[in-house]
């Protein structure tokens, strides 16, 4: 049987593509159901095609407010975690100092702990301090759990850097500041960008820690969570689809620019 | 923490012999570390101390809580909620195994077979991330809905008969059963498995495969003796990155499951935010933390890799 033989020879490719389909399927459903006109409050069963939600994406009370709050928190958490994380990475790779082991485990532990544990303990701290739960407590929490991921991303890049490049710069009479800005930073940039992107994605999409430490403030994931109980507006799917398309476009455009640069450099 | 202590003498190299580095220079690493480490100490380590103290307190919301070294809370939490604990570990373990089985072929495909499609497939793996995971998890409600296409196909193939007999599903239903929860967990954490796997597979020198083939190894033997052992670092960090968050997750259990599929994360959340029984919630999350840390440590020791993530 040639068909069976073909399947056997391409088993890995077929299995891999099936997994890929499993991962993409929910996004397709989200996209298709953004054109739905549901009968009840829940958008789980297909009724008929409609562009209503796309024409009025902010037509649901509080949704776009929560979206802009999530974006703001994600931007500030990214800035905070990237700056602090990059500083730590440089210290870890470039310098010798005491308590390195303790510091390494302090950075590793937040990644090795279920989110709900960090969420509950941080809330214990805030309750004990009598802190007002809201924007600032969410931001503090997000910087905390993004930090370790940024360190991991940036450290990998800094470790693979050739220190002789910086030595060459200082041999050519560049000052320490100049060397850092014109040699070190540009080389480390891809690692820093990867860390920042990761921090943004983690912060924007975080639910568990945010849910514990938000008080009555509602971020976008919390809005979606609440809507699973009250009724899911079609607009949620519109936002989900738009985010997906924007992200794919950013990646594609970035790739095109990188390709063109590569070609013109040749 | 010894962050503020004085630095050890810098290593003496040729150029440093000429001029000893100033104290200012020796303090540079500490200044670089200070803000970030301080952040982690205050908002990660200190809260754990507070939580430890909360877990041995007794009292009520009205009268306030006091430390009474009431360790009974731990025992009560364990006896009251051990089904949820067992379920969490079981679901997270099953999902991790499924992630490995489903993720490995895809990671292999990207690393060795995708050719010029590699970047496209990588983007397709990462892109779903950009739609909030809660929205995507809700989509599974549509996919697995009663009377939907998936349930119909599984029914026609008599798969649901088998899974119902095993207790994974209920008659003609997938939603609100353990299978739906495990399916959601597997889906949500698959990228965390695939990316480390891909990274470690991609590092493998393709010539090793050729060499194995030249030495008369069948493709299966090559995989078993060459590829898989070399991908172990990816397997270890992938399983950890999947198991740890999955064990504490309550989103999938709440959205896709029923009251019979509650995981320990749900209990902690309810105790903390609704019942306001802080000592029990603190004890529960400490037990979860201890169980996960012990399992992770044993696992890392047994698999013999120290470098993680």
The pLDDT tens digits for A83-105 are 999 999 999 988 888 888 899 99
Q: How far is A220 from chain B (nearest CA, A)?
A: 9
Same-domain check for residues B91 and B9: no
Three-state SS for A253? helix
A184 with A256, same domain: the answer is: no
Residues B69-72: contacts with CB under 8 Å, at least 24 apart? B70/B279
Residue A210: pLDDT over 90: yes
pLDDT band at B8 (very low <50, low <70, confident <90, very high): low
Range of the domain at A11: 1-59+234-266
Tens-place pLDDT, residues B10-21: 554 444 444 556
Over residues B169-175, the mean pLDDT reads: 85
Instruction: Give me the residue label for tokens 């259990």.
Output: B253
Sequence-distant contacts of B257-261: CB under 8 A, at least 24 apart: B257/B176, B257/B177, B257/B178, B257/B180, B257/B181, B258/B176, B258/B177, B261/B87, B261/B91, B261/B176, B261/B177, B261/B178, B261/B180, B261/B181
Condensed to tens digits (0 to 9), the pLDDT of residues A135-161 reads 999 999 999 999 999 999 999 888 888
Q: Which residues of A touch B131 (CB under 8 A)?
A: 27, 30, 240-241, 243-244
The number of C-beta contacts closer than 8 angstroms across A and B is: 265
Whether A42 and A159 share a structural domain:
no
pTM of the model: 0.88
With respect to residue B308, please indicate whether it lies within any of the assigned structural domains: no
- pLDDT recorded at residue B16: 44
Place of tokens 């996960």: B292
pLDDT of residue B19: 53
Would an 8 Å CB–CB cutoff place A240 in contact with chain B? yes
Q: Which residues contact A222 (CB under 8 A, 6 or more apart)?
A: A66, A207, A210, A211, A214
Q: Does A256 touch chain B (CB under 8 A)?
A: no
CA angle, B210 then B216 then B222, to 5°: 60
Start-to-end CA distance of chain A, whole Å, equals 49
Q: At B50, is the pLDDT very low, low, confident or very high (cuts 50, 70, 90)?
A: very high
Dist. CA B270–CA B94, nearest whole Å: 25
Does residue A122 sit in the same domain as residue A225? yes
Residues B32 and B114 in one domain: no
**Cβ(B114)–Cβ(A18) under 8 Å?**
no
Contact B94, B182 (CB under 8 A): yes
The beta-carbon neighbor of B102 closest among A19, A45, A111 is A19
Q: State whether A32 and A126 are in the same domain.
A: no
Q: Inter-chain contact B250–A45, Cβ cutoff 8 Å?
A: no
SS3 A34: coil
Please give, rounded to a whole number of angstroms, the shortest distance from the CA of A76 to a CA of chain B.
15
| Residue A145 belongs to domain with CATH number | 1.10.3720.10
What's the pLDDT at A149? Answer: 93
* Same domain membership, residue B117 and residue B11: no
Give the residue from B253, B260, B234, B202 showing the smallest Cα distance to B83: B260
| Residue B243 contacts residue B193 (beta carbons within 8 Å) | no
Bridge pairing between strands B64-67 and B57-60? antiparallel
Distance from C-alpha of B106 to C-alpha of A51, rounded to nearest angstrom: 36
Residue A261 pLDDT exceeds 90: no
More confident residue, A248 or B16: A248
With bands split at pLDDT 50, 70 and 90, how would you rate the model's confidence at A167? confident
- pLDDT of B9 above 60: no
Q: What is the domain count for chain B?
A: 2
Beta-carbon separation of A248 and B123 below 8 A: yes
Is B151 in contact with B145 (CB distance < 8 Å)?
yes
| Residue B65 is assigned to a structural domain of this protein | no
pLDDT in tens, A221-243: 999 999 998 889 999 999 999 99
Confidence of residue A29 (pLDDT cuts 50, 70, 90): very high
The pLDDT of residue A257 is 84
Query: For residue B92, what is the nearest residue in chain A, using CA coordinates?
Result: A114
Nearest chain B CA: its distance from A247 CA (Å): 7
CB atoms within 10 A of CB A59: 14
Tell me the range of A22-26, A38-42, B122-126, B157-161 where mean pLDDT is highest.
A22-26
Tell me what percent of the residues of chain A surpass a pLDDT of 70.
99
- Does the distance separating the beta carbons of A103 and B51 come in below 8 Å? no
- Please give the C-alpha separations between residue B244 and each of A87, A162, A164, B170, B192, in angstroms, as whole numbers: 27, 35, 40, 28, 11
Q: pLDDT per residue over B251-304, tens digit each?
A: 999 999 998 899 999 999 999 998 888 999 999 999 999 999 999 888 888 886
Whether B256 and B148 map to the same domain: the answer is yes
Whether the per-residue pLDDT at B3 is higher than 90: the answer is no
**C-alpha distance from A209 to closest chain B C-alpha (Å):** 10
Among the partner-chain residues B33, B50, B250, the one whose CB lies closest to the CB of A91 is B33
A225 lies in the same domain as A252? no
Residue range A253-264: mean pLDDT, rounded: 80
- Specify if B57 maps to a domain: no
- Three-state secondary-structure class, residue A255: helix
Given pLDDT bands bounded at 50, 70 and 90, which one contains residue B4?
very low
- Kindly state whether residue B66 falls inside one of the protein's structural domains: no
Task: Measure CB to CB from residue A244 to each of B131, B244, B272 and give the nearest one.
Answer: B131
Q: State the burial class of residue B141 (Cβ atoms within 10 Å of its Cβ: 0-12, 13-18, 19+).
A: buried
Closest Cβ opposite residue B46 in set A30, A125, A221: A125
Give CA–CA dist A38/B119, Å, rounded: 37
Domain membership flag for residue B53: no
Segment B90-106 shows an average pLDDT of: 96
B309 found inside a domain: no
Give the three-state DSSP class for A201: helix
DSSP, collapsed to helix, strand or coil, labels residue A175 as: coil
Tokens (6 digits) for A170: 């200082």
B135, B223, B271, B288: best mutation site toward chain A, by most A Cβ within 10 Å? Answer: B135
Look over chain A and give the mean of its residue pLDDT values, rounded to a whole number: 90
Q: Are residues A143 and A102 in the same domain?
A: yes
What is the arithmetic mean of pLDDT over A79-83?
Answer: 97
Pair A214, A257 in one domain: no
Residue B5 predicted with pLDDT over 50: no
Please answer whether residues B96 and B249 qualify as being in contact, where contact means their C-beta atoms are separated by less than 8 angstroms: no
**Cβ separation A30–B28 shorter than 8 A:** no
User: Residue B227 half-sphere exposure, CB side, CA atoms within 13 Å?
Assistant: 24
Mean pLDDT for A20-24 is 94
Which residue in A12, A26, A124 is closest to B54 by CB distance? A124
3-class secondary-structure state, position A232: coil
Are A26 and B140 in contact (CB < 8 Å)?
yes
Least reliable range by pLDDT among A8-22, A28-42, A167-181, B232-246: A167-181
Identify whether residues B4 and B135 lie together within a single domain.
Answer: no
Same domain, B112 and B252: yes
Q: Please list every residue in chain B whose beta carbon sits closer than 8 Å to the beta carbon of residue A141.
A: 43
Mean pLDDT of A116-128: 94
**Tokens found for residue B263:** 């995981």
Do A188 and A260 sit in the same domain of this protein? no
CATH of the domain at B174: 1.10.3720.10
- CA–CA dist B179, B173 (Å, integer): 10
> In this complex, is the C-beta atom of A262 within 8 Å of any C-beta atom belonging to chain B?
no
Which of A19, A107, A212 faces B106 most closely, judged by CB atoms?
A19
Asked if A177 is an interface residue toward chain B (Cβ–Cβ < 8 A), one would say no
Chain B residues touching A98 at Cβ < 8 A: 2, 5, 7-8
pLDDT at B2: 40
Residue B181: partners with Cβ closer than 8 Å, 6 or more residues away? B91, B252, B253, B256, B257, B261, B263
Domain tally, chain A: 2
Where is A6: in which H helix or E strand? helix A2-9
Whether residues A177 and A228 fall in one domain = yes
Q: Whole-number mean pLDDT of chain B?
A: 86
What are phi and psi for residue B117, nearest 5 degrees?
-90, 0
| Cα gap B290→B296, rounded to integer Å | 10
For residue B51, give the nearest of A12, A95, A120 by CB distance. Answer: A120
Name the closest residue on chain A to residue B113, using Cα atoms.
A13
Asked if residue B145 is part of any domain, the answer here is yes
Regarding whether A5 and A19 lie in a shared domain, the answer is yes
**Contact criterion met (CB < 8 Å) for A125 and B43:** yes
Are A122 and A17 members of one domain?
no
Range of the domain at B203: 81-303
pLDDT, one tens digit per residue, over B176-212 is 999 999 999 999 999 999 999 998 998 888 888 888 8
Interface pTM (ipTM) of the complex? 0.89
Phi and psi at B39, nearest 5°, equal -60, -45
Contacting A residues, span 136-165, partner chain B, CB-CB under 8 Å: 140-141, 143-144, 147-148, 151-152
Q: What is the 3-state secondary structure (H, E, C) of chain B?
A: CCCCCCCCCCCCCHHHHHCCCCHHHHCHHHHHHHHHHHHHHHHHHHHHHHHHHHHCEEEECCCEEEECCCCHHHHHHHHHHHHHHHHHHHHHHHHHHHHHHHHHHHHHHHHHHCHHHHHHHHHHHHHHHHCCHHHHHHHHHHHCCCCCHHHHHHHHCCHHHHHHHHCCCECCECCCCHHHHHHHHHHHHHHHHHHHHHHHHHCCCHHHHHHHHHCCCCHHHHHHHHHHHHCHHHHHHHHHHHHHHHHHCCHHHHHHCCHHHCCHHHHHHHHHHHHCCHHHHHHHHHHHHHHHHHHHHHHHHHHCCCCCC
Same domain, A181 and A242: no
């Amino acid at each position: 049987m040639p068909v069976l033989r073909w399947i056997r020879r391409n088993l890995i490719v077929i299995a891999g593509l099936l997994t890929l389909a499993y991962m993409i399927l929910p996004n397709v459903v989200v996209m298709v159901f953004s054109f739905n006109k549901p009968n009840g409050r829940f958008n789980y069963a297909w009724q008929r095609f409609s562009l209503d939600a796309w024409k009025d994406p902010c037509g649901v009370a509080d949704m776009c407010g929560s979206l802009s709050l999530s974006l703001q928190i994600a931007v500030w958490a990214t800035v905070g975690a990237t700056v602090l994380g990059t500083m730590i990475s440089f210290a870890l790779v470039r310098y010798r100092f005491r308590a390195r082991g303790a510091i390494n485990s302090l950075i590793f532990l937040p990644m090795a702990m279920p989110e709900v544990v960090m969420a509950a303990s941080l809330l214990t701290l805030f309750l004990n301090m009598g802190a007002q739960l809201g924007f600032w407590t969410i931001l503090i929490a997000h910087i905390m759990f993004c930090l370790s991921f940024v360190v991991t991303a940036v450290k990998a890049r800094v470790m693979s850097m050739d220190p002789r490049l910086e030595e060459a710069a200082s041999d050519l009479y560049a000052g320490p500041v100049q060397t850092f800005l014109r040699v070190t930073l540009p080389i480390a940039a891809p690692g820093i960008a990867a860390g920042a992107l990761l921090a943004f994605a983690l912060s924007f999409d975080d639910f568990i820690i945010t849910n514990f430490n938000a008080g009555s403030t509602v971020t976008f994931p919390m809005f979606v969570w609440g809507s699973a109980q009250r009724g899911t507006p079609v607009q949620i799917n519109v936002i989900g689809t738009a985010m997906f398309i924007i992200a794919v476009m950013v990646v594609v455009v970035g790739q095109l620019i990188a390709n063109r640069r590569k070609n013109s450099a040749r | 923490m010894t962050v503020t202590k004085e630095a050890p003498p810098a290593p003496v190299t040729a150029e440093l012999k000429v001029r000893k580095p100033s104290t200012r220079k020796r303090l540079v690493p500490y200044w670089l570390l200070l803000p970030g480490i301080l952040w982690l100490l205050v908002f990660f380590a200190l809260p754990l101390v507070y939580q430890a103290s909360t877990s041995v307190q007794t009292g009520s919301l009205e009268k306030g809580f006091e430390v009474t070294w009431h360790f009974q809370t731990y025992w009560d939490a364990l006896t009251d909620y051990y089904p949820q604990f067992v379920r969490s570990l079981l679901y997270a373990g099953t999902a991790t195994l499924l992630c490995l089985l489903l993720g490995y072929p895809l990671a292999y495909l990207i690393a060795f077979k995708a050719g010029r499609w590699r970047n496209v497939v990588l983007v397709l793996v990462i892109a779903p991330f950009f739609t909030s995971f809660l929205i995507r998890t809700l989509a599974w409600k549509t996919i697995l809905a009663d009377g939907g296409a998936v349930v119909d196909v599984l029914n026609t193939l008599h798969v649901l008969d088998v899974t119902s007999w095993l207790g994974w599903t209920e008659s003609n239903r997938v939603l609100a059963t353990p299978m739906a929860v495990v399916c959601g967990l597997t889906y949500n954490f698959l990228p965390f498995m695939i990316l480390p796997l891909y990274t470690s597979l991609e590092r493998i020198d393709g010539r090793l495969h050729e060499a194995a083939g030249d030495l008369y190894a069948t493709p299966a033997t090559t995989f078993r003796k060459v590829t898989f052992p070399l991908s172990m670092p990816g397997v270890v960090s992938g399983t950890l990155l999947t198991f740890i968050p999955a064990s504490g997750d309550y989103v999938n259990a709440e959205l896709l499951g029923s009251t019979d599929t509650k995981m320990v994360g749900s209990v902690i959340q309810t105790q903390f935010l609704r019942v306001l029984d802080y000592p029990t919630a603190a004890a529960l999350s400490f037990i979860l933390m201890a169980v996960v840390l012990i399992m992770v440590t044993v696992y890392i020791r047994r698999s013999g890799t120290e470098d993680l993530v």
